[in-house]
Structure 1
Amino acid sequence: MKEIKKLIDIVLSCSQAETALLDVPKQSVKEKKFIQGIELGYYISDEDAAKDLYNASPNDVRYKMLKHRVKKKLFNELNYVNAEKVTANFVRQKEIQCNSLIYQANIVRARYEFDLVISLANKALALAQEFDFIDLKVSALELLTLSYAEQGLIKKFTAAQEDLKLTMQRFVNEREAVSMFQNINMQLRKSTKTRKEFLPQLPLLIIQLEKLWQESGTFSAYYAFYRTSIWYHELEGNFKDIITITVDALRLVEQNKINAHRFDLTYNNFIMVYAHLRAKQLSDGLMYAQENLGLYQPSTRNWFAYMENYFLLAVHARRYDLADILLQQVIENSALQTIPTIAKERWMLYRSYFRLIYPQAAVPEGEANNPYLLSLPEYSKDKLGFNVAILTLQFIYLLERGETEALLYRIESIKKYVSTHLKDAFSLRSKLFLKLLVLTVTEDYDAVACRTKGEALYKRLMETPAPGDAYAEIEIVPYEHLWDLILQILAKAEVNLKVRSR
């Protein structure tokens, strides 16, 4: 039942004519009633349909034959879909059109109409070459060599045969690259432990993928090399290398060395901006982020994801005026309610941190009594995520309010968190910063003592690079900036205490 339901949805949404499937001459009364019943939600299960149509069980032979006929007709309808309705992806539309031309050419070939075969195959070949569909180029050239041979067109046959030979060699290399890429993708989608174990194999695989791309010159081979390289450097935390890869990709597009139709500028720009953030190349990152913002529609999830990196670049660069503008654009975007819950929670956390470091930020109505949104949802207790960010936010909130007893309790939670979750090398920055928070309490909130005794930890923090993406806690505001803020809060509290004691 699920398979038929999916087929009906595809056919009705993608058919050349919206009523093609339900055209009376094509359907028996039972078939039409069956299709409409599923489409309208009357038949949730086989039991429902069989009972209504035949007053029988799903094992009834009449019902089984009905399902078989309908399924066969649904699959047949896929031959007549409108490519533009199937997908909004322009490249995929062209791929469907190219496949359709080859399918049509094979039909007329069966009737030995080789003039028609040549016409259709040449159209398919032109599309395949324009969009670098190497597999479809092979199919088109095979049809052309067959047709030229049948018609005795020696020169055309020889040229097509030579083109086919070279294309086949490129196709073999491309398929090897794609197969490797698929295996890499599968391995990296497994658990964090599996990814870490697989990681040492990637440098050699990347070298092999680069060679296959250079030998084939195809987009798919390049894409396998490009994406695998980005994944590896992201997992290793080599963000400057990612910047080099993304900038080089743009150069290759401009030089027509990779297919411009198929290259995803939105992804390349997204990862480029993200890499600038993680590599702390903030000025260049802000420039790229502003230049390419127009690639993303404000109503899409991609826009919100892109704005996260843009906003964090502004915060890390201490461009708080710009960050305030970007944050307001996000908050005022009505599509904010349509993004995934975890993404909305991240924006909630960003807003809380921004209010902390930029008190003059606009405060949405209803939040004045909860300035740091301490009613945050409980995040995963796993060491990856936002745990340090939430612990830090709540600590600074209590520090500003001078709630020493609550801070003593919070310190115990922080110590436990450090000993339980921050044992690995990739957690060093978070571990060092949380130790500075503990120092604040153990030094009895003395700004001078905290600055002096925390200097060694602070220096180590500044010298410790950010870990790779797979293992990193989110630094919404750089830990160095937060430590400066904490020292300011302590110094201000001491001044206020002296004023009150006079």
Structure 2
Amino acid sequence: MEELYKIVKLVTKSTNLSLVLPIANGRLSKEDVFYEGIKNGKYESDEDAAKSLYNSGPNDVRYKMLKHRLKKKLLNNLLFLDYNKLGSKSYFIKEQSCLLMLQQAYILRLNYEFDLVLSLVAKIMAIAEEYDYTNHQVAALELAVACYSEKGNLKQFNTALPALEQVLFKRNIEFKATNIFQSVSVNLKKSVTARKRLLPKLPELIQTLEALWQEARTFVTFEAYYKTSISYYELVGSFDKIIEMTVNAGKWVEEGTVNPLRFESNYNKFVLVYAHLRNKDYANGLLYAEKFASDFKEGFLNWFAYMENYFLLALHSNQLPLSELLLHKVFSNNSFSRISNTAKERWSLYQMYYRVISLNSKTANNIYINPYSLSLPEYSKDKLGFNVAYLILQFIYFLQKEDSEALLYRIESLKKYILTHLKDTFSLRSKTFLKLLILTVTEDFNADVCRSKGQKLYQKLIETPPPGDAYAEIEIVPYEHLWEHILSILDKQGN
């Protein structure tokens, strides 16, 4: 049933359902009733559908045959999808056009309609060359060579054959580049251990990919080099290199070195803004974030992701009015409920940190009304990447409340967390900051003593760069800023 639901969801965007799902004489057939029921969410399982349609179970041969017939028609209907309704990119729509014409050309060739095949080949080649689809050029030229051979057109055959050999050469290079890119991708997605094993090999692989791109000069080879490079630089924390790559990519597109019709400019803009955030170049990052903001349509999923980086740039720059404005735009957007639970949780966390930072020294103590999710466990695999962020937030909450008993309990939890989860060198910033938190309690919340005794740890924090994303915990607010904020809380409480 799940399989049918997926196909039905697609085919409702077809140009003309009646081509394969006819409703004859105004009378609904079993297939029509079954289709409408699936589309409207009437059936949760095969048991529900079989009961409704035949008053029997899912093993009823009548139900099995009905399901088989409907599935066949639905799959046929995929050929008639309206990609404009699906909101597909123009290059994707053009690729589907190539695939459809290729299918038509293969059928015509089997029926010896060589002139019609060659007419379609010309159309396919025009699109494939414009959009840099090497694989479709190969398929089209293979058809052309076969047709010229069958027709005995020697001159055209001798022209088409070298052209086919040339695009085959490029496609073979694309095959090598794609294999490297996919191998890297699958290892990066596997586990932290797999990423660690792969990291030393990546510089050489990137050099190979760059050479393949320079040799073939196709979009596929460029994309493999471009995306693998960004992944590597992100993992090792070389965000200045990502900035360089994204800026260069923009120039290559303008110069025509990279096909502008295939290049995802919004992805490039997103990565460029993100890299400035991670490179601590907040001023330039905000300039780019503001410049590109209108290119991301409000309410779409990629807009919410873009706004995360924009908000964090504003918060890291201590531009609190802008931070508040961006938070309001996100939480008041009608599409907020549609984003994933993980994304919602991140935004809630951002909002909590904004509240912490925005509270000024004149704020009354009674405003601290447990907005910080204190029911969360001290450590949770579900919060991976945010555990330290939550621990810090909980600590600051109790510090603002001057709840020394809760803080004494908290430092034992922090010590345990450091010993258990922050043993690697890439956790050094988080470990150092948590030690500063512990210091505030052991020194009895004396701001001057904490400032003096914490100076070495604070300096160590400044000198330790954030790790790459292969390992990083999230710093929603830079730890240096948080330490200054904590000292200001202690100063206020000491007066």
Normalization by structure 2: what TM-score?
0.90
* Higher mean displacement: 203-212 or 269-278: 203-212
Question: Structure 1 residues 470, 377: CA separation in 2 closer, same or farther (over 3 Å shift)?
Answer: farther
Quote the Cα distance in structure 1 between the aligned partners of 2:52 and 2:393: 60
Using the TM superposition, give the Cα deviation of residue 309 of structure 1 relative to its aligned residue in structure 2, in angstroms: 0.8
1:162 aligns with 2:162: yes
Checking the alignment, whether the CA contact within 8 Å between 2:368 and 2:401 is kept in structure 1 is: no
Using the TM superposition, give the Cα deviation of residue 465 of structure 1 relative to its aligned residue in structure 2, in angstroms: 0.3
1:394 aligns with 2:398: no
Using the TM superposition, give the Cα deviation of residue 371 of structure 1 relative to its aligned residue in structure 2, in angstroms: 5.2
Runs of 5+ unmatched residues, structure 2: none
Quote the Cα distance in structure 1 between the aligned partners of 2:393 and 2:238: 28
Using the TM superposition, give the Cα deviation of residue 428 of structure 1 relative to its aligned residue in structure 2, in angstroms: 0.4
1:107 aligns with 2:72: no
1:19 aligns with 2:21: no
Checking the alignment, whether the CA contact within 8 Å between 1:125 and 1:137 is kept in structure 2 is: yes
Corresponding residue number in structure 2 for 1:499 = none
Matches within 5 A, 1:89-108: 89-108=89-108
1:358 aligns with 2:358: yes
Secondary structure of the corresponding residue to residue 289 of structure 2: helix
Quote the Cα distance in structure 2 between the aligned partners of 1:428 and 1:377: 27
Instruction: Supply the AA of the counterpart residue of 2:161.
Output: Q
Quote the Cα distance in structure 1 between the aligned partners of 2:98 and 2:425: 51
Checking the alignment, whether the CA contact within 8 Å between 1:240 and 1:279 is kept in structure 2 is: yes
Quote the Cα distance in structure 1 between the aligned partners of 2:398 and 2:52: 65
Quote the Cα distance in structure 2 between the aligned partners of 1:228 and 1:279: 19
Matches within 5 A, 1:404-419: 404-419=404-419
Runs of 5+ unmatched residues, structure 1: 497-502
Question: Structure 1 residues 68, 351: CA separation in 2 closer, same or farther (over 3 Å shift)?
Answer: closer
Quote the Cα distance in structure 2 between the aligned partners of 1:53 and 1:481: 64
Secondary structure of the corresponding residue to residue 477 of structure 2: coil
Checking the alignment, whether the CA contact within 8 Å between 1:461 and 1:480 is kept in structure 2 is: yes
Quote the Cα distance in structure 2 between the aligned partners of 1:488 and 1:131: 58
Question: Structure 1 residues 213, 430: CA separation in 2 closer, same or farther (over 3 Å shift)?
Answer: same
Quote the Cα distance in structure 2 between the aligned partners of 1:138 and 1:95: 14
1:221 aligns with 2:241: no
Quote the Cα distance in structure 2 between the aligned partners of 1:277 and 1:117: 53
Question: Structure 1 residues 351, 16: CA separation in 2 closer, same or farther (over 3 Å shift)?
Answer: closer
Checking the alignment, whether the CA contact within 8 Å between 2:102 and 2:140 is kept in structure 1 is: yes
Corresponding residue number in structure 1 for 2:185 = 185
Question: Structure 1 residues 75, 354: CA separation in 2 closer, same or farther (over 3 Å shift)?
Answer: closer
Using the TM superposition, give the Cα deviation of residue 56 of structure 1 relative to its aligned residue in structure 2, in angstroms: 6.8
Quote the Cα distance in structure 1 between the aligned partners of 2:18 and 2:480: 64
Instruction: Supply the AA of the counterpart residue of 1:17.
Output: N
Corresponding residue number in structure 1 for 2:262 = 262
Corresponding residue number in structure 1 for 2:88 = 88
1:126 aligns with 2:126: yes
Checking the alignment, whether the CA contact within 8 Å between 1:372 and 1:393 is kept in structure 2 is: no
Question: Structure 1 residues 120, 208: CA separation in 2 closer, same or farther (over 3 Å shift)?
Answer: same
Quote the Cα distance in structure 2 between the aligned partners of 1:248 and 1:390: 38
Checking the alignment, whether the CA contact within 8 Å between 1:355 and 1:371 is kept in structure 2 is: no
Secondary structure of the corresponding residue to residue 75 of structure 2: helix
Instruction: Supply the AA of the counterpart residue of 1:493.
Output: Q
1:322 aligns with 2:330: no
Checking the alignment, whether the CA contact within 8 Å between 1:384 and 1:472 is kept in structure 2 is: no
Residue deviations 1:272-316 (CA, integer Å, cap 9, x gap) = 111111111111111111111112111112112111111111221
Checking the alignment, whether the CA contact within 8 Å between 1:15 and 1:77 is kept in structure 2 is: yes
Matches within 5 A, 1:298-377: 298-359=298-359, 369-370=367-368, 373-375=371-373
Instruction: Supply the AA of the counterpart residue of 2:371.
Output: L
Instruction: Supply the AA of the counterpart residue of 2:250.
Output: L
* Higher mean displacement: 389-398 or 243-252: 389-398
Instruction: Supply the AA of the counterpart residue of 2:79.
Output: N
Corresponding residue number in structure 1 for 2:248 = 248
Quote the Cα distance in structure 2 between the aligned partners of 1:323 and 1:52: 54
Using the TM superposition, give the Cα deviation of residue 8 of structure 1 relative to its aligned residue in structure 2, in angstroms: 3.7
Checking the alignment, whether the CA contact within 8 Å between 2:282 and 2:317 is kept in structure 1 is: yes
Checking the alignment, whether the CA contact within 8 Å between 1:352 and 1:372 is kept in structure 2 is: no
Question: Structure 1 residues 406, 227: CA separation in 2 closer, same or farther (over 3 Å shift)?
Answer: same
* Higher mean displacement: 281-290 or 179-188: 179-188
Secondary structure of the corresponding residue to residue 470 of structure 1: coil
Question: Structure 1 residues 358, 102: CA separation in 2 closer, same or farther (over 3 Å shift)?
Answer: same
Quote the Cα distance in structure 2 between the aligned partners of 1:34 and 1:281: 57
Using the TM superposition, give the Cα deviation of residue 325 of structure 1 relative to its aligned residue in structure 2, in angstroms: 2.3
Quote the Cα distance in structure 1 between the aligned partners of 2:278 and 2:261: 29
Residue deviations 1:425-448 (CA, integer Å, cap 9, x gap) = 111001111111111122222222
Quote the Cα distance in structure 2 between the aligned partners of 1:333 and 1:81: 30
* Higher mean displacement: 154-163 or 120-129: 154-163
Residue deviations 1:125-169 (CA, integer Å, cap 9, x gap) = 111111111111111112222333444544433332222111000
Using the TM superposition, give the Cα deviation of residue 387 of structure 1 relative to its aligned residue in structure 2, in angstroms: 2.1
The number of residues matched between the two structures is 489
Secondary structure of the corresponding residue to residue 105 of structure 1: helix
**Kindly, what percent of the aligned residue pairs are identical?**
50
Using the TM superposition, give the Cα deviation of residue 468 of structure 1 relative to its aligned residue in structure 2, in angstroms: 1.0
Question: Structure 1 residues 465, 20: CA separation in 2 closer, same or farther (over 3 Å shift)?
Answer: same
Corresponding residue number in structure 1 for 2:424 = 424
Using the TM superposition, give the Cα deviation of residue 405 of structure 1 relative to its aligned residue in structure 2, in angstroms: 2.4
Instruction: Supply the AA of the counterpart residue of 1:304.
Output: F
Quote the Cα distance in structure 2 between the aligned partners of 1:51 and 1:489: 66
Residue deviations 1:463-487 (CA, integer Å, cap 9, x gap) = 0000111321211111111111222
Q: Of the candidates 370, 378, 386, which is equivalent to residue 376 of structure 2? A: 378
Corresponding residue number in structure 1 for 2:293 = 293
Instruction: Supply the AA of the counterpart residue of 1:222.
Output: F
Residue deviations 1:52-100 (CA, integer Å, cap 9, x gap) = 7677765566655554444433333333333434552322211111111
Using the TM superposition, give the Cα deviation of residue 326 of structure 1 relative to its aligned residue in structure 2, in angstroms: 2.0
Q: Tell me the C-alpha RMSD between the 2 structures.
A: 2.8
Corresponding residue number in structure 2 for 1:437 = 437
Corresponding residue number in structure 1 for 2:209 = 209
Checking the alignment, whether the CA contact within 8 Å between 2:8 and 2:39 is kept in structure 1 is: yes
Residue deviations 1:13-58 (CA, integer Å, cap 9, x gap) = 1332133333156999554455455445566555566667677765
Residue deviations 1:310-338 (CA, integer Å, cap 9, x gap) = 11112212222322322222233232222
Instruction: Supply the AA of the counterpart residue of 2:15.
Output: Q
Quote the Cα distance in structure 1 between the aligned partners of 2:262 and 2:411: 52
Checking the alignment, whether the CA contact within 8 Å between 1:311 and 1:323 is kept in structure 2 is: yes
Instruction: Supply the AA of the counterpart residue of 2:372.
Output: L
Instruction: Supply the AA of the counterpart residue of 2:343.
Output: A
Quote the Cα distance in structure 2 between the aligned partners of 1:470 and 1:286: 25
Checking the alignment, whether the CA contact within 8 Å between 1:121 and 1:141 is kept in structure 2 is: yes
Quote the Cα distance in structure 2 between the aligned partners of 1:7 and 1:356: 47
Checking the alignment, whether the CA contact within 8 Å between 2:429 and 2:464 is kept in structure 1 is: yes
Corresponding residue number in structure 2 for 1:500 = none
Instruction: Supply the AA of the counterpart residue of 1:334.
Output: N
Normalization by structure 1: what TM-score?
0.89
Quote the Cα distance in structure 2 between the aligned partners of 1:376 and 1:158: 76
Secondary structure of the corresponding residue to residue 138 of structure 1: helix
Instruction: Supply the AA of the counterpart residue of 2:121.
Output: A
Using the TM superposition, give the Cα deviation of residue 124 of structure 1 relative to its aligned residue in structure 2, in angstroms: 0.7
